[in-house]
Amino acid sequence: VRPIVTADILAVGSELLTPHRVDTNSLFLTGRLNDLGIAVRMKSAIRDNPRELTAALTNALSNADLIVTTGGLGPTADDLTREAVADLLGLELVERPDVLAVIQERFARRGAAMPAINRRQAMAPEGAIVLPNPNGTAPGLLLEQGDRMVVLLPGPPREMQPMFDGWVVPRLADRTRGRRLHRRVLKVTGRSESQVEEVAEPIYAAAGTAETPVETTILASPGQIELHLSSAGDDGQTIGRVLDEAVARLAEALGDVVFSVDGRSIEEVVGDLLHRRGWRVAVAESCTGGALMARLTDVPGASAWVLGGVVAYANEVKIAELGVPAGLIERHGAVSEETAGAMAEGVRARLHAEIGVSITGIAGPGGGSPEKPVGTVVVAVTTGAGTSVRRFWFPGEREVVRRFSAMAALDMLRRALSTS
Ligand code: ATP
Ligand code: MG
Ligand 2 midpoint to CA 13 (Å): 5
Say if ligand 1 is within 6 A of residue 138 CB: yes
* Phi and psi, residue 396, nearest 5°: 115, -175
Say if ligand 1 is within 6 A of residue 263 CB: no
Say if ligand 1 is within 6 A of residue 16 CB: yes
User: Which atom of ligand 1 sits closest to the CA of residue 79?
Assistant: 7
CB-CB contact of 394 with 404 (8 Å): yes
Say if ligand 1 is within 6 A of residue 15 CB: yes
The distance of Cα 129 from the centroid of its chain, to the nearest Å, equals 33
User: Which atom of ligand 1 sits closest to the CA of residue 156?
Assistant: 16
Ligand 2 midpoint to CA 107 (Å): 20
- CB within 8 Å of 159: residues ≥ 6 apart: 133, 135, 136, 138, 153
CA dist., res. 309 & res. 10, Å (int)? 49
Closest to 100 measured CA to CA, from 73, 119, 72: 119
Ligand 2 midpoint to CA 74 (Å): 6
Say if ligand 1 is within 6 A of residue 71 CB: yes
Strand locations in 75-128 (E)? 93-95, 123-125
Say if ligand 1 is within 6 A of residue 140 CB: no
Ligand 2 midpoint to CA 51 (Å): 16
Ligand 1 midpoint to CA 172 (Å): 23
Ligand 2 midpoint to CA 78 (Å): 7
pTM of the prediction?
0.78
- CB within 8 Å of 354: residues ≥ 6 apart: 277, 279, 280, 281, 348, 383, 384
Among protein residues, the one with the nearest Cα to ligand 1's atom 4 is 74
User: What pLDDT score does 179 carry?
Assistant: 84
Give the ligand whose atoms come closest to the C-alpha of residue 44: 1
User: What pLDDT score does 282 carry?
Assistant: 98
Give the ligand whose atoms come closest to the C-alpha of residue 16: 1
Ligand 1 midpoint to CA 159 (Å): 9
User: What pLDDT score does 420 carry?
Assistant: 59
- Kindly give the parts of the chain with pLDDT less than 50: none
Among protein residues, the one with the nearest Cα to ligand 1's atom 24 is 155
Say if ligand 1 is within 6 A of residue 21 CB: yes
Say if ligand 1 is within 6 A of residue 17 CB: no
- CB within 8 Å of 38: residues ≥ 6 apart: 4, 5, 6, 7, 65, 66, 172, 176, 179
Say if ligand 1 is within 6 A of residue 72 CB: yes
CB-CB contact of 323 with 344 (8 Å): no
